A = this chain, B = another copy of it.
Amino acid sequence: MANEKSSSDKKARETAWSIGARTLPLPSGASQDLREAVGDGLQPAERRKELESVPQSEAEWLAFVAAADEATAQEVRNAVDQLPVAVERDEIDGVDVYHVVPDEIDPEYEDHLFVHVHGGGYVLHGGYACVGEAVAIALGTNMRALSIDYRMPPRHPYPAAVDDVMTVYRHLLTQRSVGSMAMGGTSAGGGITLSAVQKLIELGVEVPGALFIGTPGSDLSGTGDSFRTNEDIDRNIPTYDGIIEACVRLYAGDLDLVDPRISPLYGDFDNFPATLLVTGTRDLFLSNTVRTHIKLRQAGAEADLLVYEGMSHADYLREATSPESQHLADELKSFFAQHLRRSSRPAPPSMPRMDSARWT
């Protein structure tokens, strides 16, 4: 068998396809918002240049991270200032977290909580920069969120991030019913969520009632087909080479990139909770997402997949007011409502039920 495989791999190299140069128009089936965002972007060759520069020392990494996170945090702060949401820093068992409370909470789900694991390539979006997606989801679903500012490389490789997520989740479990919590995030956040849930199951800890897994870093080895088929087609990460792969290697530390502890696609999906996965046709992580979806279904989990037309990696966060992002918020709200258990406590009678039309 080993020989057979190796001979097949040899053949694979020989039969790689030569695909000619081409011109790629805007995705005419996507929303006007998304098309314009694609049209405003750089050409693939220019975008690649942005990803080529990789810090060469811990000091360079720290400077790179500090500058990037400060810029992101400022953007997020400016947005939060305009939005009907309150964000407050806290600490849970030594881990930094942010409470994200929308002004309007659906009374039916007022005990529910979205536990947010941010993205940022396992290295970026620390500090206040972590809350952007949590704010979008809290506002889109009218639910409270808690964003975990987990430790990251270069100082804290795996398992620091997963440990921090588990620490916070286990603390929350002492305060609330397990079925009242959803967990998830995008990209690195999706990958770390999958790893944390695999670890919870391994330890026999009750898992959240539902997961949101957006275009996840589920296979850090870059094995998925879309790492090649969507190369230069994804407007946000045109290639895995360069800074992305360097970030991933920092997170992996001494582990091989196909180790199931950091590439949860190769881990166990038995007993996973209901999971909503999201990606796009232009996403470099399309394969990461669909492979995770099939694995979940093979393991018997309830797993739904959404693939948006013309969408690149995590575009639903970048174009947060696009029709695609609004549809995703509706899907998330409905998915959480379906899978999270309602509190046994009735809603206060003075507050109107948002879905009262259904009951009359």
Task: List A residues at the B interface (Cβ < 8 Å).
Answer: 5, 8, 11-13, 15-30, 32, 35-36, 38-41, 43-45, 219, 223-226, 228-233, 281-282, 286-287, 290-291, 293-294, 297-298, 304-310, 327, 331
Contact = CB atoms under 8 A, between A and B. Distances in A.
Contacts of A305: 304-307
Contacts of A233: 17, 19, 229
Contacts of A224: 29, 309
Given A8-B36, A29-B291, A309-B290, A232 B17 contact: yes
Contacts of A298: 327
Contact of A29 (B25, B40, B287): B287
A27 to B, nearest CB: 4
A229 B29 contact: no
B232 A28 contact: no
A310 B225 contact: yes
A305 B225 CA distance: 19
Given A17-B43, A22-B19, A233-B229, A306 B281 contact: no
17 contacts: A8-B39, A12-B35, A16-B25, A17-B43, A17-B232, A17-B233, A18-B23, A18-B45, A21-B21, A27-B225, A29-B219, A224-B309, A225-B310, A229-B281, A287-B309, A287-B310, A304-B305
